[in-house]
Amino acid sequence: MRDPVCKNRNPIKSAICCDPPIKIKGFMKTVLQSRMRFACLVVLITGVLTVLMAPTSQAIALEDLRTRLPGEISGWKAEPEDRIFDQKTIFSYINGGAEVYRAYNMWQCLSRRYTKADGPAIILDIFDMGSADDAFGVFTHDTDGKMIDIGQDARFRSGWLSFWQHRYFVSIYAEEETASAENAVIALGRAVAGGIPQKGTRPDILRKLPAEGLKSESIRYLHHPVILNYHFYLSDENILNLSADTRAALASYQLGNESARLLLISYPDQDAAKKSRDRFLKQYLPDADQTGMARLEDGKWAAASLKNRLLAVVLEADSRQMAQNLLRTF
């Protein structure tokens, strides 16, 4: 909708375009001028908020977090210069692994190095993922290690701590493992988490995973085919039409001696979900029966089921019965 007062929608120019006085007499003049000023003020505030909501606001937020990071932890001192990477420059920092962060829409990464004369360097990387969903998602990409109480979920293994909180995914590792370095890594993790006052919520789609037999540590949240293919290779092409607009959860199930992998995908609308289901059946399960179920070449079962805009795909199940059980709720 066009601004009724100022044709120029640039918030800064909006303030200027209202400056020339409009000659209206008497009371009406006062009222209109007052309303004009109010309207300009609204436009200005809206514009400023719009600017703040843009990606650059994340830079400020990450910058805020940076100021809360400790300059020293357990004898390790922060090097003078932090480094900031964006979606393009991140490849120069972490090479091919950067694709993981891009697949989760990483906005920025702040890297800080802590050093100590008689200890290994400790590397702190804070990834601003832009949303709690994606911070959680990138955390679930690698769930090895023991759980530890830092942030909203954390894992610690071999000198590497990873956790997520709010829209941040945090990685801290010591270049060599020593007892004191491990303690410092954990202490630094707690300090970073303490500097993030907000908490995020886990992706809604996780609540739709059937509870019975769910191996909670196996849950992955994703919306990019490259991540799906990493955890479960499906196809060289994006036959499920995964995109930034889709939300997907991948999980393993164990019921008795039988196991299965289930993928749930929430599409923007029912039509998109139906098209994706049809494409999947055509290209991956052309031999599916009327219930959308087929036996794979390795003897396992695969199936797809659609409910509104939610597509449930059993990627593999040890038996037809198990596949049916998983899809029963959809």
In the complex, the smallest distance separating the C-beta of residue 98 from another protein, rounded to whole angstroms, is 8
**For 218, which DSSP code?**
G
* The only residue of 14, 162, 165, 252 in contact with another protein, by rule CB under 8 A: 162
CB 251 within 8 A of CB 270: no
Long-range contacts of 13-16 (CB under 8 A, 24+ apart): 14/40, 14/43, 14/44, 14/47, 15/40, 15/43, 15/44
Tell me if 210 sits within 8 A of 312, measured CB to CB. no
Is residue 177 involved in binding another protein (CB under 8 A)? yes
Please tell me whether residue 239 binds another protein under the rule CB under 8 A.
yes
Task: By CB under 8 A, tell whether 283 contacts another protein.
Answer: yes
Instruction: Kindly state the tokens that stand for 189.
Output: 């993790």
Is 297 a residue that touches another protein (CB under 8 A)?
Answer: yes
Q: Which residues contact 100 (CB under 8 A, 6 or more apart)?
A: 138, 141, 227
The span of 41-49, 64-72, 212-220, 228-236 binding another protein (CB under 8 A) equals 228-236
Using the contact rule CB under 8 A, the part of the chain among 34-42, 74-82, 153-161, 249-257 near another protein is 153-161
139 makes contact with another protein (CB under 8 A): no
Per-residue mark of binding to another protein, 23-62 (x: CB under 8 A): ----------------------------------------
Q: Does 97 bind another protein (CB under 8 A)?
A: yes
Tokens for 308?
């509104």
Helix axes 55-68, 26-53, angle to 10 degrees: 60
From residue 203, alpha-carbon distances to 39, 56, 176, 220 in Å are: 38, 24, 35, 11
Minimum distance, C-beta of residue 248 to another protein, in the bound complex (Å): 17
Is residue 189 a contact point for another protein (CB under 8 A)?
Answer: no
| Alpha carbon distance 145, 148 (integer Å) | 9
Provide φ and ψ at 235, rounded to 5°: -165, 155
Q: How far is the CB of 38 from another protein (least distance, A)?
A: 49
Q: Does 146 bind another protein (CB under 8 A)?
A: no
Q: Which is nearer to another protein, 55 or 97 (CB)?
A: 97
Q: Which residues of 55-79 are buried (b: 16+ CB within 10 A; e: fewer)?
A: eeebbebbeebeeebbeebbebebe
How many residues does this entry show for the chain? 330
Of 63-71, 75-83, 224-232, 306-314, which segment contacts another protein by CB under 8 A?
Answer: 224-232
How many residues touch another protein (CB under 8 A)? 36
Closest to another protein by CB, 18 or 167: 167
Scanning 40-48, 204-212, 244-252, 292-300 for contacts with another protein by CB under 8 A, the matching segment is 292-300
Residue 234 touching another protein (CB under 8 A): yes
Question: Would you count residue 265 as binding another protein (CB under 8 A)?
Answer: no
Nearer to another protein by Cβ, of 71 and 97: the residue is 97
Q: What phi and psi, each to the nearest 5 degrees, are found at residue 268?
A: -60, -30
Torsion on CA atoms 251, 100, 197, 50, rounded to nearest 10: -110
User: Which of the ranges 174-182, 202-210, 249-257, 260-268 carries the binding residues for another protein, by CB under 8 A?
Assistant: 174-182
Binding site for another protein (CB under 8 A): 94-101, 120, 123, 125, 157-160, 162, 171, 173, 175-177, 226, 229-230, 232-237, 239, 283-284, 296-298
